[in-house]
Every structure is written in structure tokens, then in C-alpha cells.
Chain A
Amino acid sequence: MAQEDITRHRYTNGKPNLRRFHQAKWDEPIIFELSCEGQRGILVPEIEEEVKEQVGDVLADLPGYMRRKEPPGLPELSQPQVLRHYVRLSQENLGADLNVEIGQGTCTMKYSPKVNDQLAGHPKLADLHPLQDEETVQGILEIMFRFEQILKEISGMDRFSLQPAAGSAAIYANVSMIRAYHESRGEAGQRDEVITTIFSHPSNAACAQTAGYKVITLYPDEDGYPDLDALKAAVSERTAALMITNPEDTGIFNPRIEEFVSVVHDAGGLCAYDQANANGILGITRAKDAGFDLCHFNLHKTFSSPHGCGGPGAGAGGVTKELERFLPVPVIAFDGERYSLDYERPDSVGKLRPFYGYVPVVLRAYAWVMSLGAEGLREVAEIAVLNNNYLLKKMLEIPGVSAPYAKGKRRIEQARYSWEELAQETGIHSEELGVRAADFGVHYWTSHHPFVVPEPCTLEPTESCSKDDLDEYVGVLAHVAEEARTDPELVRTAPHNSTVHTIDHSPLDDPSQGAMTWRAYLKKIGRKTE
């Protein structure tokens, strides 16, 4: 089929067609409110008399303090009610399998091949029990060992842990190892500061804080790059580590990264590389070659396993030989014949997750890498960067949009844009543009709070998007920006084709109003838990 036949339905006179889209809307309560006492999804049959006689009271051995006094406050529903509930909720989402997923920059929302989900769900993996004897799980241990060798090659690091539950868990593991390293040298008390940059992932600052470190944040220099002079002013004998992302969330690659690392090393600190944004540098640069001591990857970002909501993510933390003894347990060992889980590591920072960690995620990531090969991985990076820079050029053609910092320079795999000019002109803000974009079936994100770039949006197309996808996405944003000028009311009152209408966001910023669980919510509004 000729190219024009394939794309005919997506363009009119060279301009991308916008989708006519309307989302399902259900007035669906949350599942706890659907609960009705006595309803059941499954009725467990009574145990036969002869079985009872044989087994006796199976609960007799359970100590009293471990028995609940009351049944747990779980929702009581029938199976079809549960099914309807979740299918309805899924229809009210603009999920990664539904839209041209470019708008959630920094998250590397690439396509997750479905065949890898089938592998992860295959009985050969799903029916394994984590307490099985190692002799009987050699296959999965071999896959984990092999995947570690692949990560070593990609990063240059000497040893990896596949224990972390996700990116932040991996960063937290890295902070823990940094502290263990300084403790081993008798400097843990003195070195109580971690340095990061404002456009690194906020997890670096948050994890260092959680681990008890004082966090020092650097801002960009006049050219928009991480400020080397500020780093020199910040390092001292109190510096425990530099923990940064590169390229940063602006998509800008720090051209002086080796100097950053050596300034920190000279002061006696370690350098940890947050490689959550690794999609543009696979096979091109390596953490160890730039002098880093630790790094981590998000298997649910760069390595295509679905993100948290699609089944757990996983992080992989890598270190140099010098830090190897601090890695979380267990690490995967291979003596040339048998694979095993090595727990005998006295200097380890300890255990992060139960048993092996998130094995299905590792399997998906391994399958993804094996389907590409080394050349394929490099091509992933090249296409991701090419896609992003095509998008950058098209975005900057829209009046009212800019890409602050390092003006005129290309970006790596993502870019943070600013709609400040459009907002000043029309009074329509970035969040409002994003809500209107949902009317055309695409998802859009601004940036972390508080906004550093005014009126931000952060786009990351990955290698999964075709040129047509990119044109469609930019076409939607160009159209919405035009509406902001010609019919701002239409944008302000959006979404019109979507489920949830404008909500008051201010409580999101107010810790006194937040609740992390249903029970905490009930407590906060003064209702007792049932």
C-alpha cells in the first residue's frame, strides 16, 4: 500500500485530522459505597464432615493475638457488580492503550508489547512459588542473572540489584548504600548533605530527605545548564553525594557532567545517576564511563514494562565494584553451573521487597531487550531522540509556546515547554489547554509542583510514536491554542467530551485536606470506619 493510502484518513490538505471522540461517563460511586451487607462474589462450600474429622480445627494453632476480633471492612459485592464497576472505571480513563501517549513527559510512556504480558502470565512463571527450592527455579534465576549482565553492559556498572519496587525505591536503595559507604569509612556523621538539581526527578531530593539527609538544590546557570559554579559553592566535607538526572526533565543533557562528577569526588562524595530518563541514551553514553558510582533504571519506563497501574513497576540499581558489598540482598549468584540467591552479605543495606522482587517485570524487560538486541536498543534511543526533536520543531511553530533554558539547542528524549506567552495574551492557562486536549482523546501533563517553568507542559514521544501520531498530537495542541485566542470560553469550560469536569484543585496543595486511604478519609470527615 502506498504511503498516502495509509495516511489518507489522518490528514486533510496536509493538516492532521483531529479525532471525533466522546468518552463514556458513568455516575459510578467508589466500591466501598456499592457495598451491601451479605452480598458475596463466591460462596465457599461447607467442608464435608469426613474432611472435618480428618483435619480438625485448622485455626486452633493460631495464637489469639493474631486473630481479628471483627471481620475486615471489605466491600461486599457480587461478581458481576465488581466486573461492571471496574469496566466502567476503565472507560473513564484516558489510558496508555487508548490515546497517543506523548503528554506524560518524564514517564517514558512507550508501548508495552502485549506478548510480554502473556509471557509474564504464563503458568511457567505464574505458578512458581517464591518458597520453592532454588533447584526447581533455575530458569527464572537464569533470566534474572542474564538480565543483570545486560544492564551491566548498558551502564558499565559492575553489579546490579533487581530488588527495588520502582524508581523511588531504587533511589532510596542508592541513598542507603551511600550512607553505608560513608559509615564504612567513619564519615557518616560528618557527611549529611545530598546535592541535586531542580530539574532532576524530585524523587532524588525526597528520598535523600526521607533517609535523613539535608538536601541542597542547584538551579540552572544563565545558559540554562546545571550550574557548575553553584555546585562548587555547595560541595564541602559535608557532601555525602550528588544525586541527579541527566538529561534533566527539560530534556537538556548536562554537557559538563564529567566535571560535576569530579568536583563531588574531589570533595569525598559519591555520585548517583538517576537513569529514569535513559531512553535517549541507550547504547550511546554509560553511567560508569562518566564516573558515576551508582545508577538506577526504571524497568517500567525505558524497558517497556507497563507502569504502576498496569501491574507493578520495578527499579534496577547498579553500582561499581567498590560499592558492591552494600547492595540489597539477595543478589543472583552463578557458580558456572547453578544459579542461586545470595543472602550471605554482611555489609548489605538489607532487604527491600519480599523474596525475589518483582519477577514478572524483570521477565517483561528481559523479553523486550532480547527482541531488540544491542543494535535495536541503540536504535530505540536514536528514534526516541529524532521523534522528540521533530516534535520540538513542530511545537515551537505554534504561536505562544516556547522551550525555556538552553534556547535554540536540541533536546534529548523529552522537552519541557512553556505556554506563558499564550497565557499572558489569552488568560488561558496550561492546565486548561490540557483539559481541552482531552476532548480530542489525548492526555497532557504540566510538570511537578511548584512550577519552575511557568505554564509548563512536558512532552516525551518515545520511539513508539509514528510521524502521524506526532502530527496528530501537535495538531491537537495547535488547535486548542488557536481556540484559546478565538473562543477562550470553549477552552475554559472544557472538557466537553470527557467524563469528569473541572474540579477544584486547591485541596491538592493542602496537606491538611489530603487523605491517602479510604479509612483516613472517613476519619478526616468525621465518620467512623464501618
Chain B
Amino acid sequence: MVMDKKLGLIVNPIAGIGGRVGLKGSDGAEVQRKALKLGAVRQSLNRAIRALERIEPVDDLEIVTYPGEMGEDAARACGFAPTVIGSIIPGGTTREDTISAAREMLELGVDLLLFAGGDGTARDIYNATGERMVVLGIPAGVKIHSAVHAINPVSAGNLAGSYLQGRTSALREAEVMDVDEEAFRQGFVSAKLYGCLRVPFQRRWLQGRKAPSSPGEQAAMVAIAADVVSRMADDWLYVIGPGTTTRAITARLGLDKTLVGVDVIRAERREGKEAWLGELAAADVNESQLLALLGGRKAKIVVTPIGGQGYIFGRGNQQISPDVLATVGKDNVIVVSTSAKIHSLGGRPLLVDTGDRAVDSMLSGYTNVVSGYNERIVYKVSYC
């Protein structure tokens, strides 16, 4: 089969070493030293090999990778003769190595960047390349909240091979999530959306608990946006939380959105028409800006749950604080979600953890989730 393709490969050698020894992540040099001292084994090499085994080493497939433990070892173990670029200090790689490797591969025009790592690695690659490159994650971290990873190394290899051979052509936009590891070690899961990467999409290899955003889901987001916009009230303010689902709403109004921040828009009814104009009142606001804007105004809050976790308040959108929520009131909270994201919760309830028990309790119970145009899901909201 004629491929004539370039596959970029980055193995984050320290990804996942914190997990088995109970350190909840591998960010930070001290944690990594501690992990190795506790007898941690480097998982990512084996996982990268398990993925690469699924890709046939044919002549017209060139693998571009970093030296030794950052990809070369894995590629050679699977019978490839990779093009090795860059330089590293063996045993002392850092996130900067991941970032520069991703940048160089972007410049070399690789067709697909396959990386072995967790959420931190995905974040580094996002910072280096944005949405300019097609990537796919081999899950090898302690924390996997991002949707950029395949469900296991074998599926990652299958999907990468299928994409390189042109058997899979669809791409999807996948959210890069990461948790604050310091908070995670204290016992809190605090995931945050960092951005989006473009990932090959093949339903049968990705449909699982970690619901990805498929072409069908893009259509669902458009339908959700149409529903929310059609019900907007004239001269009300709309506080729009982070995420791609909420971004579809501002996109329908022709406005830009801070993907990972909170924006405020003002709705305005166009004369004599069933259409709406919106104007951006403020972008990427913090709590005090929000409270100042809301003073005395009629407002609604639009949020979407974090996929796989279900938090609607208290994670990644702390700007929408208990005071903000108390001002706006439960009846003016609009939760939006594709049904696939609700299914990714596996039956667990939506969650709130605003830090204020009275507000948490006010928000809990059954809520209407806007899941499409004229579609609602009645779903339970709980708090810890």
C-alpha cells in the first residue's frame, strides 16, 4: 500500500511514573525524583511499543522522532529506522523537550503526531502546535481527562495506521483537559479546559466512556446553540462558561469566544424577526468583573459539564462564584450538553462544588439539560 507519509512520534519518558506509586501525577522534578526513588517503572515506552506494533514498518512510512527514550527506542524496538532529530539529556528530559520536539515536527510537516503521555503531555503539545497539526495520544499518563487519547495503546496504533493509510479520513476537535496536580494530591479533582487539538476520528475505536466529539456531535452542538439562541430574552446578559459546546452558542451569534474562559454577552432582538443579535459585553472575565457587570441586570448563566466527570460548577469555571450564582439564581442557569457527553458519565450525576454548601444545595436536584433543538434531558445534580 502506498503511503508516503511522515509519522511524528514523541514519547514522554516520565509520563505516568507517578501513578503506580500513588503520587497522582508526574508534574514537577521533585515528584519525578520521588517516584523513581519509590521504585516507579517507566510505563510510556512499553505503551508506545504496544501502539507502534500495530503499524506496519513499510518503506514509504517515515518516522520522525526524538532521540533515545523520547521515541527512538520505541521506534527501533518495533523494527523502524526512524529519522532522529533534536537532542536530549538522557534521564533528564523535561516538558521543554516535548514542546520543542512538537514544534520541530510541525515544521517538518508530519502527517500525524503520535505521542505517548498523559494530560500534561497533551497540554505541552497543544501549547507548541495549537490546532495546526493532527495528533493522537497513546494513553500513558496518570491523569487522562483529555479526549485526545485513544482508549488504549492498541487502539491508538490501529487508529494511527488507519489514518496514515487513508482508511480513516474524518477529523474531530478534541478537548485538552488537565487537572491541577497540586490540588489533585490534596484530594480535589479540578480539571480545566486548555484548548483543542485535531484528532483522527473512527467511531468504532473511540466510542466509549470518554465520549469524543464526532461529526454528529458537532451537529448536535449547532442544534443546542440554535435552541439557546432562539430562547434568548431581549436585553438580558448571558454569562457563557468555557467549552466547545458553549462556544457554538456565541458562534451562532457571530461572536468570538474565550474557549477556556467566561465571556458575557448581551442579547438583542432584531426588529420584527425571529433572529437574535448578540454583542460581547466582556471577554474572559473574573469574579469581581462578573459581579460588577451583573449588578441589577437580568442575567442567565450557560454552562456545559466537563466530559467524563460531570462538574457544571466549581471546576474550570470558578469565576462563576457562589456570589454570582446566588445573584443570578437557579432558574436562570442553563445547562447545555450533547447526549454523548451525558452518556460519558456512565449514569453518574452532574456535580457542583462551588465551595458554598448553600449554593451547592440550591443547585442540586433534577435539572433540565439542553441537549438539542427542542430537546431536554432531565438529569440529577449532586454535590459532595
Contacts and interface: CB of A to CB of B under 8 A. Distances in A.
A212 B375 CA distance: 11
Interface string B196-218: 00000111110111010011111
Contacts of B343: 450-452
A322 interface: no
A439 interface: no
Interface stretch (B27-35, B69-77, B89-97, B149-157): B149-157
Nearest to B371: A217
Contacts of B371: 217
Contact of B366 (A209, A233, A426, A504): A233
Contact of B201 (A220, A454, A506): A506
Contacts of A426: 154
Interface in B268-301: none
A190 interface: no
B342 interface: yes
A512 B215 CA distance: 9
B203 A506 contact: yes
Given A230-B378, A511-B216, A502 B151 contact: no
Contact of A432 (B152, B204, B347): B204
B379 interface: yes
Contacts of B203: 431, 505-506, 508-509
Interface in A191-228: 198, 205, 209, 212-220, 222
Interface string B143-176: 0000000011111001000000001111000000
Nearest to A229: B366
A398 interface: no
Which of B216, B371, B378 has most A Cβ within 10 Å? Answer: B378
A146 to B, nearest CB: 41
Contacts of A504: 167-170, 202
B254 interface: no
B194 to A, nearest CB: 25
A230 B245 CA distance: 24
A506 B371 CA distance: 21
B186 interface: no
Contacts of A508: 203
B295 to A, nearest CB: 32
A233 B378 contact: yes
Interface in A4-56: none
A424 B155 CA distance: 10
Nearest to B156: A427
Contacts of B201: 506
Contact of A215 (B169, B376, B380): B376
A214 B374 contact: yes
Contact of B340 (A450, A488, A511): A450
A492 interface: yes
Contacts of B207: 429, 450-451, 454-455
Nearest to A233: B366
Contacts of B214: 506, 509-510
A506 B365 CA distance: 37
B355 interface: no
Interface string B54-74: 000000000000000000000
Contacts of A429: 155, 204-205, 207
A488 B154 contact: yes
A420 to B, nearest CB: 7
A513 B340 CA distance: 20
Nearest to A219: B379
Contacts of B327: none
Contacts of A219: 342, 347, 377-379
Contacts of A506: 168-170, 201-203, 214-215
B339 interface: yes
Interface in B217-232: 217-219
B294 to A, nearest CB: 28
Given A450-B340, A455-B208, A511-B219, A427 B168 contact: no
A423 interface: yes
Interface in A160-206: 198, 205
Nearest to B158: A492
A150 interface: no
Interface string A507-530: 111111100000000000000000
B347 A220 contact: yes
Given A449-B216, A451-B343, A504-B202, A427 B377 contact: no
Nearest to A235: B378
Nearest to B207: A451
11 contacts: A214-B374, A215-B376, A219-B342, A424-B152, A429-B155, A429-B205, A449-B216, A450-B343, A454-B207, A509-B217, A513-B215
Interface of B: 151-155, 158, 167-170, 201-205, 207-209, 211, 214-219, 338-340, 342-343, 346-347, 365-366, 368, 371, 374-380
Given A209-B375, A450-B216, A452-B343, 19 more contacts: A213-B374, A216-B368, A216-B377, A217-B371, A219-B342, A219-B347, A423-B151, A423-B208, A424-B152, A427-B152, A427-B153, A429-B155, A450-B211, A450-B217, A450-B343, A506-B169, A510-B170, A510-B218, A510-B219
Closest 3 CB pairs of A and B: A427-B154, A509-B216, A510-B215
Interface of A: 198, 205, 209, 212-220, 222, 229-231, 233-234, 420, 423-424, 426-427, 429-432, 449-452, 454-455, 488, 492, 502, 504-513
